Each structure stands twice: as C-alpha cells, then as structure tokens.
Chains A and B, each alone.
Chain A
C-alpha cells in the first residue's frame, strides 16, 4: 500500500527535494502559512479593500445614516475636492512632508553621516546616540518634550533665544511640527547615508582631493553619483512615513484654527471624532492611493538595484 501512495524517489522533481529539506510538503507548508495570512487578510487587506466600498456611502457612526447607510456614489469625493478644510489639510501635508522629510531629515541626515566619518570616536558615539534616542523614544513622550520646550511662558527655547512670551505652537504651528519631525526622524537618513557613504571607494575621493577638488566638488563629482540610488530610496521611504505620521496630533492636535491639520489628523477629526465615516473613508482611500504610488516606485527601484 505504501509504495503506491508515495512516488518513487527518482520521479520527484529534483529541485523540490533540494529546497524542501525538512520534508514539509505543500499541504503542511500551506498550513504553516495560512494562520499568518488569515490575520493579515482580516485586519489589513480587508480594511483596505473595504474603503473602496465605504467611501461610496454616507456611513455615519450615529443617527439615521448609521442604521441604513445609503449609496451616494462619488459624492464624498466631489465634496472632498471642494472642501476648503480638506484642501487645506492636503496643502499642509505637502508642506510638512517637504519641510520635515525631503528638506529637514534628508539634509540633516546627510550632514550627520558626512561629518561623523571624520570626527573622534567619542564625539561620534555621543552624537549618534542622541540622534537614535530621538528616533526610538515613544511618540507620546517626545511630543510632550517638545510641548515643554516650545512653551510660551517657561519653555527652554524662549529662555535660550531670549524671546520670552513667544508662543511657537500658536504663532508658528506648522514650523513647529516641521522642526519637531526633523528632529524625530533624522536617524533613518543618517543610518542610510552612513551605509551608503561606506560604499564610496576611498581611492576615488583621494584622487579628487589630490587633484585639488574642494569639499563641495568632491561631494558633487564623486559622492553623489555613487549614492544617488540611496538618496532616492531615502526620499521615498521618509516621505511615505511622514505623510502617514500621526504624531503632530499629539503636539498641536491640528490647531490652532486647523493651521497644523495634516491629512491623518483631518481623517481622525472628520471620521472618528465627528463620526462622518463615509466621508472620512473617502479621504483614507486618497491617502492609500498616494501611499501606493510611493511604495510601487520604491519597490521598482529596489528590484532594479537587485538585478
């Protein structure tokens, strides 16, 4: 009986035998994969797909629309595109990503990676530890650290600058969260650029220096061509994360007068706080689409580099 159910060893595809060393077989392998996929399916894929439908309804948390949500077609999307608060949020998000990720984190991260190559080891350890610390502390903690630092009456920043009574969070809310996020997230760019700079051949830098190239010329002609891929990777990833960053909520809650209300905060306020779930979902879908574009470009880039 046994010989009829198990094929002769020499008939099995040789490749299969070579990889499946533990003798798992497809059935058991699928059983291993299934629980994980089920969890991802229910709590990640389904919600994402559900937005496609929900965004077309007038779903609300309470009231008549809660009992029987109605299909409203593309109304939510046309409302959104004409809603000054949504357009404001979109614009602020763009400025936030541009200011804190594209400009702030990238430049500061590169400066750190570049300068830390030549300093004493102690200096390097101290500076890098501080940068990492800002990155790994929980967001509720760092948010309060910045509230304390930017406080109008007894904040450390006003004491340092000699500007008593300057209400940074009220007068310059967007600038405040841009600086905050630059501080918070520079570690990633620093790490990535450090790794990238390690791949620049020292001999080429040496040659450029011998030929009398200034620091800037070395950067432009030797370093940048080598790390161009890393710069792009860095820009895409940190833009994606900053675009989805909810921590400004912890500092300014989007205020005052929505002047720091980025898209994540706008979605929270309209959908969860005000209960307009259909409208909020429509905005979420727009966010998912923007994420999709950034992620696809990133993965394509990654694949090109690997092959």
Chain B
C-alpha cells in the first residue's frame, strides 16, 4: 500500500513536470533568442548581446508598426469604453422599452458575429465605404466587435453600484452628465479598467482585421508586420523577429500582471475575443 502511494505520488509529479515542460518549452525561445548573438530556431542559452534590439531601430517598419498598434489599440479602447460606459449606464438606470431583449441580442451577437465569420461582409462594407487601407476603418470594426460584450459587462458593474450617491448629487443640482463623470465613473472604475485593458489587449493582438483591411506596410500594426517578417521570402532574420516579438509581447504581459495585481482576475465567462 505504501509503495503504491509512493509510485502514485511520483507519477503525479512526472505528469506535472511533463505539462510544465509542454507549456514552457515554446516560450523559452522568446526569452533567449532576442539576446543571442547568433540566434537560431532552436532554444539555447544566448551569447549575450543587445544588437538584435539595435537592429530593430534600423528596420523601417518595426517601430512604426508598434506605433500603429498603439494607435489602433488606444483608438478602440477610447471608443469602446466611452460608448460602452454611456450605454451601460443608461441601460442600468432607465427601463428603456425592450431593454432585456436588447441585452440578450447584444450578448448573442458578440459571440456569433466573429471577425472570421464576418470577414467577407466586413471587407466588402469597408470597400464600399472607402475605408480600405484606413486605420480609422480598423478601429471602427474592432470597436463594433468588442462593444456588445463591453456594454454587457459594464452594465453588470453599474448595476452593482449604490444609487444613493446619485440621488444626493441630484438633490444638490448636478446634471446627468456631471453625475456620470463625478460620481458613477469613480465608483465603477474597476469595471472601466477591466474593459479598457481587455479592449487594448484585443486590439493589440488582433491580426485578421488589419491584415484584411490595411494595404500599406507603413500603416500596419505589429501583428501584421511581424507576420510579414517571417513569411516574406529569403532567409528569415531571426534576430529581428525574436527581438521584435519580445518587444511586442511585453505590453500585454505587463497589462495582465497589472490587472491581476490591482483588481484580481475577475472571471467573466465569455470574455476574450
């Protein structure tokens, strides 16, 4: 019986080690290759150098594409949080006719009309609106896709805030917009932050939408430019790819750590894409 327990325990740790290895091995390359003088596709401890990062500065598209990613991510973030917060607040506080049906439809939509399933009509729509190769077009499409879930989640947060503050503010003569800005927003800040980070992470990582809608490399975000780095013909420049991948990954990891520390990881079923 004791032997069996020991064997079981060993088996248990072997299983955990195997899973850990499976999860860790692909990522190791991202940690080592950027600092390697002669990076290859295999993972090995680097001969330390910063030259891959200085090489990035020389590439005409690398840094601009990170700027483009910031633009797309922040643009969608502003649109989604502002429009989402306004709509969620109104839906939470006022019984607009058909509200529940609307919320249900929004939730349904956000899961059905995905970027992949709707890529053809979206492409065609942007073509007709003359928004192909326009960053504004990408921001609008990204925001439209993220807003339903954002409204739904923000409404949950708004529902959970006490109304007595607003009532007192109203007694002292504050207008609705003023109440929203000075009273409601500070109270639901965790909700707004969650949605803001969620939008930024989605906009930052999204590949398909800019891949389809943008034509010029100087307007493309890092997701697309990185892809062209490793698919364009000839010998892939591994120093450039690895350093760029790392630089491009750091913001999302940092934001995840920040949210996790600050607010704890609140679990919203269905959030993510």
Chain A contact residues, CB within 8 Å of chain B: 15-16, 18-26, 28-30, 32-33, 35-37, 39-40, 42-48, 50-51, 54, 59, 108, 111-112, 115, 119, 123, 126-127, 130-134, 136-149, 151, 153-157, 159-160, 183, 186, 188, 191-192, 195, 233, 237, 240-241, 244-247, 250, 253, 264, 267-268, 271-272, 277, 280-281, 284, 287-288, 291-292, 294-296, 298-299, 302
Contacts and interface: CB of A to CB of B under 8 A. Distances in A.
Contacts of A241: 272-273
Contact of A149 (B25, B123, B212, B223): B25
A179 B41 CA distance: 19
A136 B118 CA distance: 23
CB-CB nearest 3 A-B residue pairs: A43-B144, A32-B90, A47-B121
B176 A43 contact: no
Interface string B24-57: 1111111001000000111100000000000000
B77 interface: no
Interface residues of B, number: 95
Contacts of B207: 138-140, 246-247, 250
Contact of A42 (B144, B227, B256): B144
A148 B121 contact: no
Contacts of A115: 12, 15-16
B117 A291 contact: yes
B16 A119 contact: yes
B64 interface: no
Contacts of A280: 120
A33 B144 contact: no
B249 A156 contact: no
B214 interface: no
Main secondary structure of the interface of B (DSSP, over half): helix
A162 to B, nearest CB: 13
Contacts of A294: 111
B223 A139 contact: yes
12 contacts: A36-B83, A39-B140, A39-B147, A47-B113, A136-B252, A138-B205, A138-B252, A141-B248, A245-B116, A246-B207, A288-B118, A291-B112
Given A33-B96, A40-B144, A115-B12, A264 B125 contact: no
B10 interface: no
B269 interface: yes
A40 B109 contact: yes
A136 B252 CA distance: 7
Contact of B83 (A39, A119, A138): A39
Given A20-B94, A140-B248, A148-B42, 17 more contacts: A24-B94, A32-B87, A43-B140, A44-B113, A47-B113, A50-B121, A50-B124, A127-B23, A132-B256, A154-B40, A155-B42, A156-B42, A183-B26, A245-B116, A250-B207, A291-B113, A299-B104
B23 A32 contact: no
A142 B230 CA distance: 12
Contact of A33 (B28, B33, B90, B113): B90
A143 B19 CA distance: 20
A177 B118 CA distance: 23
Contact of A291 (B24, B114, B140): B114
A273 B227 CA distance: 17
A16 B144 contact: no
B118 A148 contact: no
Contacts of A250: 207, 227
Given A29-B90, A138-B204, A291-B117, A23 B170 contact: yes
Contacts of A40: 106, 109, 144, 147-148
